[in-house]
Structure 1
Amino acid sequence: MSNALAIAHVTQALALLLESNLGPEFDEAVKVEPRKPPAEPPDHPTINVFLYQVTPNTAMRNSDLPTRAADGTLLKRPAAALDLHYLISAYGDETTLVGQRLIGSVVRTLHEIPILPKDVIEQSGELPHLTGSDLAEAAQRVRFTPTVMDIDETSKLWGMLYQTPYSLSVVYQATLIFIDGREKPVPARPVERPEVRVLPFGAPGAPVPPGAGTEAEAADRASVNGSAQAVDAAGAERGGAPTTAVARTQAKSPATAPEKAPQKAPPRAPQKAVAKTTAKSTAKTPAKAPARGRKAAQAPRPAKAGDAETDGGAEGTEN
């Protein structure tokens, strides 16, 4: 857990770590600067450590919940879990491949020392602008992991750096940094009166010994044993043999046999005669056709004109 100076402290410690582990491959001075890549590339060997993004750690972002009670009382100091993303670029004479040699030294150092050492943190914390940082006291150490970026992502990253020419670079992620809140939680109340009770097995409220079973089973066994002892005592007074087995058998057997359920009478078959009679009574009687009467007399046939003339001619002949 650290204060708000943890982010700047990690950046300064990373620059110091790279500067102190350049190795014997370089016979000239190398300048390591924790700053943005310059718009004009320098001529002398230079390594730039640029923090371009800060993101919350997905695994530990909710580890401090809940921080407050229902009444608003602070229960736990809130802590923000962060990951830091660095762009490390190298500059130098291109004819002697200074930039490539510097990048090789950076990769070797962070692969060999992936965890930020405590002595480097303490040494970088002596700077005036980092006075008061408590990163060296944090329990969680910072680890550096290389980030793989394709051409498209690299183009976007360098494209947001306005008027800055591209240079050979690598990207690393630093995890995990905790930044604590300023408020301190209210301490819990101490124990006022310790109370310890010792109860034997079988006492009310005492735990059941292993293998003893439940209280109901123990009560059943006690009642069976008591009844068996009473029967044995009665048999001994009469001069007979003990009847413990009989008593146990009677205790295990149920008191009364369950009554048999009454048998249901089989359903009666429907009477066919009644069904047929009902069907006949409900059927409709077909209506009889009315009797046909005699044929009505046909109307007299009207006389034709030819017949009248014939009759007239006959009368004239007779006259």
Structure 2
Amino acid sequence: MSNALAIAMVSGVLRSRVQALLDVAGLAGFDVITAPPQDDSKPGVYLHLYQVLPNGELRNQHLPEHSSQGAVVRAPRLAVDLHYLISFVGSPAMQDAERLAGLVLSGLNEGPTLSRDEITAFVGALPSGHVLTTSDLGDQPESVRLTLLPLDVEELSRLWGMYGQTKHRLSVAYRASVVMLDAQVRPGAALPVTRPPAMVVVQFRAPRVNEVRSSRRAQPVVQFGERILVRGAALRGDVTRVSVGSAQVTLPSDQLGDDEISVPFAASSGLRAGVAPVRVAHLIRMQDGSTRDGPASNVLPVALVPTVRPADPPTEPGGPGGPGDEDALRVRLVVEPRPDHDQSVVLQLTGTDGQVSSSWSDWTTTDDVVVFRTAGLAVGTYLIRVEVDGALSLLDAHPDTGKLIAPTVTVS
């Protein structure tokens, strides 16, 4: 890892490297300055960091990781490339710029990396209390490599324009890659492993749902008391979980087939009326008996419709609080499964003798009876339908004529 001082450390080590090249060559009077040259700059080598870019290969490979409790288990890491412009300034008559360029280019080509020993030696030579003494660039797993960049005339002119220069200086560009910047976050220590890892190799078989329908009709409309038929491919796994809405149904093996699964819509299954998504998911059984989440199927909708019949008595005067409203009538129905209070429930009454259809959503429950408060109903017989979360109950038809005949309630 390397801390936030890594960028400054690369600049410092690179400056020290170039200065050492000048000293070994005996070029006295030439300094290495970490700034862009100006029009009146003195002779020397000018080293300037002009751009920092994310490393293309390691980008986003070290994002922060958190445990399920939110604790940091791996600190985030940013990998960047540093782009330097090295300019050479000196007497044209003595070809100082050309001599400096040849010396620096050959030296950096001979040693294209900033080694750990070189970084350690640079830190050791710093005076006590220097801001870079706490840098740990030498500990990062990747070495910093120096690469000469091909800059054309247009790119160089843009750089000189950025510096506001009127006089061009002989310059080259280098990339220092890769530099790791680790966040100063201490990951929490993982708990010790107390048992061998549970592993198992299984064939990948993703379930696919092609159709969801009733056991009595070729439609995705299932009435209470019927069965939900889920048809597809690769439905059965080591452990098969069928999700219908928010409920998860566990079935015995005789109700699980590879191409069809039968789910009862009954009180014992815990399913609620309404339009619900159906999904089949596999759990993978491990060697130690535990299970892990496996592949899951696509989702298809099904309408789970309630059964409705009049209670005894089917009607009584007054609102939900009791008698007192001459125009109000309470319609009492047995609805299975009984709707929960967080569900949307609407009563629809359609007159069999030409009366206009009406709907009401003012309801409550008394024991096992759902009570709807209605008003303004004309005398006559009405077909009853109850809609629960978008699923509308069915009507019975006469076997010969097909006329809808039940369930009904009579207002007298």
TM range (shorter): 0.5 to 0.7
- 2:182 is aligned with 1:184: no
Cross-structure match for 1:148: 150
Q: Identical aligned pairs, as a percentage? A: 38
Counterpart pick for 2:91 among 85, 90, 93: 93
Q: Which residue of 2 aligns with 1:34?
A: 34
Equivalent residue for 1:236?
none
Q: Which residue of 2 aligns with 1:175?
A: 177
Structure-2 separation of matches of 1:37 and 1:68: 47
- Partner of 2:133 in structure 1? 131
Give per-residue Cα distances to partners, 1:200-233, cap 9 Å, x unaligned: xxxxx9xxxxxxxxxxxxxxxxxxxxxxxxxxxx
Normalized per residue, which structure has more helix? 1
Partner of 2:79: 81
Letter in 1 for 2:164: Y
- Deviation for aligned residue 1:195: 9.1
- 1:111 matched to 2:109? The reply is yes
Contact 1:40 1:164 in 2 (8 A): no
**Amino acid paired to 1:6:** A
- Tell me how far 1:135 sits from its aligned partner: 1.0
Letter of the structure 2 residue corresponding to residue 74 of structure 1 = V
| Cα distance, 1:194 vs structure 2 | 5.3
Give the superposition deviation at 1:62: 1.2
**Offset of residue 116 of structure 1:** 0.8
Instruction: Give the gaps of 5 or more residues in structure 1.
Output: 197-204, 206-319
Aligned partner of residue 173 in structure 1, secondary structure: strand
Partners of 1:2 and 1:131 in 2: CA distance: 13
Give the paired residue count: 196
* Contact preservation (8 Å) 2:78, 2:180: yes
2:153 and 2:176 map into 1 onto residues whose CA distance is 22
Alignment of 1:264-275 (within 5 A): none
The reply to whether residue 7 of structure 1 matches residue 21 of structure 2 is no
User: How far off is 1:187 after superposition?
Assistant: 1.6
- What SS does the corresponding residue of 2:142 show, helix, strand or coil? coil
Cα distance in structure 2, aligned partners of 1:195 and 1:163: 65
CA contact (8 A) 1:77 1:181 kept: yes
Pair member with larger Rg: 1
Is the contact made by 2:88 and 2:101 (CA closer than 8 Å) also made in structure 1? yes
Matches of 1:66 and 1:124 in 2, distance apart? 31
Q: What does residue range 202-241 of structure 1 map to in structure 2 within 5 Å?
A: none
Which portions of structure 1, spanning 4 or more consecutive aligned residues, are displaced by more than 3 angstroms?
22-27, 193-196
Q: TM-score, structure 1 length as denominator?
A: 0.57
Q: Which amino acid in the other structure matches residue 98 of structure 2?
A: Q
Cα deviation 1:175-210 (Å, max 9, x = unaligned): 0000101111122110235599xxxxxxxx9xxxxx
1:23/1:105 contact within 8 Å kept? no
Deviation at 1:30, TM superposition (A): 2.2
> Shift of the alpha carbon at 1:70?
5.2
| Contact 2:36–2:87, Cα closer than 8 Å, also in 1 | no
Cα distance, 1:27 vs. partner? 4.6
Deviation at 1:164, TM superposition (A): 5.5
Deviation at 1:23, TM superposition (A): 7.0
Query: In the alignment, what sits opposite 2:381?
Result: none
Partners of 2:45 and 2:86 within 8 A in 1: yes
AA aligned opposite 1:116: L
AA in 2 matched with 1:140: E
Alignment CA distance shift 1:27-1:51 (3 Å): closer
**Distance in structure 2 (CA, Å) of the matches to 1:181 and 1:171:** 29
Q: Distance in 2 between matches of 1:73 and 1:31?
A: 49
Name stretches of at least 5 consecutive residues in structure 2 with no aligned partner: 201-412
Distance 1:59 1:66 in 2: 17
Assess if the C-alpha contact under 8 Å between 1:50 and 1:88 holds in 2: yes
CA distance in 2, matches of 1:191, 1:63: 26
Structure 2 CA distance for aligned equivalents of residues 182 and 17 of structure 1: 29
Distance 1:195 1:121, change over 3 A: closer
Show CA shifts across 1:68-97 (max 9, x none).
245532121110000000000011111000
CA 1:39–1:71: 2 relative to 1, 3 Å: farther
Q: Summarize the Cα distance change of 1:191–1:23 in structure 2 as closer, same or farther, 3 Å threshold.
A: same
Aligned to 2:51: 53
* Distance in 2 of aligned mates of 1:13 and 1:60: 23
Superposition RMSD in Å: 2.4
How many angstroms does 1:159 deviate by? Answer: 0.5
Higher share of residues assigned strand: 2
1:65 equivalent in alignment to 2:95: no
TM-score, length of structure 2 as denominator length: 0.44
